[in-house]
Amino acid sequence: MPLVKNPILPGFNPDPSVLRVGQDYYIATSTFEWYPGIQIHHSTDLANWTLLTRPLNRKSQLDMRGDPDSCGVWAPCLSHDGDKFWLVYTDVKRKDGSFKDAHNYIVWADKIDGEWSDPVYVNSSGFDPSLFHDPDSGKKYFVNMLWDHRRRPLLFAGIAVQEWDAKTKKLVGERMNVYQGTELALAEAPHVYKRNGWYYLLIAEGGTGYEHACTLARSKDIWGPYETHPEKHVLTSKDHPRAALQRAGHGDIVETQDGRTYLVHLTGRPTTQLRRCVLGRETAIQECYWKDDWLYVKNGPVPSLWVDLLGERDESKYWEEKRYTFKDGLHKDFQWLRTPETERIFNVKDGKLTLIGREAIGSWFEQALVARRQEHFSYDAETVIDFSPTDERQFAGLTAYYCRYNFFYLTVTAHSDGQRELLIMSSEASWPIGNLNTPYVPYVQIPNEGKVKLALTIRGNQLQFYYAVLGSGGEELKKIGPVFDASIVSDECGGHQQHGSFTGAFVGVAASDLNGLAAEAKFDYLLYKPVKNQQDAYVRDNE
């Protein structure tokens, strides 16, 4: 069987939780401020994955209006107890500064792609929760990291375990801090397993940047004491800056039907000498083995770029051109930001996507922006827009977007006298102010009526916008604006403190009406065309 190249879920797919039920494998990943919440992918061979569902899809389950960038849904844990599927997750309302307002919930479903329950609140003592179903006692245990704003002595204070009663839907008994991690610190992302009479506790340490790691400990009792793995970190790239897969950590373990063990984990693939992860934190997988009742990563602890899985990956799907029309609704590849009330920001009818202009791009409350993940280092994108703005406070167009503090946006707008024009807005690593870069790129006047084709190309770290006024006879795309630094749209430039941005680059369409008149912009389609370049073809595996 040919080896499969990591990552298995390219683009923004972080904090993987993996589960096998029979012959089916599932991975749940964080979605942060993007709606609907939590992505669940499905596979039968660990190599080929398909987006199956996003279970947090209604207002009674999730409303993230007001959640800052990189807050929202963190670190889901997907499990099955032989009867139901369970998901636990955190909805983070504040993350910067000394405090974390992080609320933990549980939902469940009979079918993974069916309707999930409304959430049951559990606690707010920390984040990255998981739910462990003890196969021997039948009890369920809620596990999460603890946050201590006093830093007495640790900000990431340790891993808490407490029994959770599935009948009353409440925590019961004493909460115990069972493990504080190693000197690498920042213990988070706990998962508990039971094997050969041992309880295993897998955690992440080192933060989600270039010091990230998976640390393993074990105990004969779920309450501890836990002894740390002889090598401490079963997976990390922190001491190997030239390894192809960086930022390796936050993992979860799954066993195949034939007894093989794999570890899924987040990773990043930095580009340029500035080490910027434009594709965000992605999901990779490693083959493992057991020795003396300890788990080891094959050829580890440094993650391998190429792995032996249960099947051969069909690369053609990764490289296929996607032309999204809107005849059958909104394609599952698309998400929007924060709000469950989609009728206020978009609708799909008559084969068009109509965006309803609301607040400015980058708003944490209600902005009309519909986009898909960037999954390739180079790609082309284009759309056709029909929009008749009346002044400069109405604008809509095509955007390469990360968050409020870094995006590039080619807009159709108007001057104060009503003359329609094209204008590029950019916010380039503008944290904490969030200003647009000025002076603005020179505008281009266009006729006040008619559709406009907008396009962009990204080749590695170079972004170029294009336009064509349709129906004018000159429909060939023309360049507009300079070549921008596309690596800005990355974790490292997302704003906040270092390693404080957790999502990834998107490309999509947006509309704003700062007059409050809800002006509508109609889009015929969105094209996303992957382009192979040196970065995509580059193969190395420095162990």
Q: How far apart are CA 170 and CA 123, in angstroms?
A: 9
* Residues 176, 190 contacting (CB under 8 angstroms): no
The full 3-state SS of 65-118, as one line of letters, equals CCCCCCCEEEEEEEEECCCCEEEEEEEEEECCCCCCEEEEEEEEECCCCCCCCC
**Active-site pick, 15, 69, 211, 485:** 15
Catalytic residue check, 15: yes
What are the angstrom distances between the C-alpha of 538 and each of 47, 86, 272, 533?
20, 39, 13, 8
* Nearest C-alpha neighbor of 235 from the set 168, 285, 306: 285
Tell whether omega for the bond before 7 is within 30 degrees of 0, i.e. cis: yes
Catalytic residue check, 227: no
Burial class (CB in 10 A: 0-12, 13-18, 19+), 314: exposed
* Residues 261, 253 contacting (CB under 8 angstroms): yes
Sheet holding 444-445, edge to edge: 34-35, 335-337, 368-373, 506-513, 394-403, 406-414, 420-427, 444-445
Residue found under tokens 């690593």 = 429
**Active-site pick, 69, 91, 188, 252:** 188
Q: How far apart are CA 38 and CA 58, in angstroms?
A: 12
Determine the longest span between alpha carbons in the chain, in angstroms: 77
Q: Which two tokens stand for residue 3?
A: 């080896």
* Residues 278, 271 contacting (CB under 8 angstroms): yes
Q: Which two tokens stand for residue 217?
A: 């400990």
* Nearest C-alpha neighbor of 159 from the set 210, 212, 209, 228: 228
Residues assigned a catalytic role: 15, 188
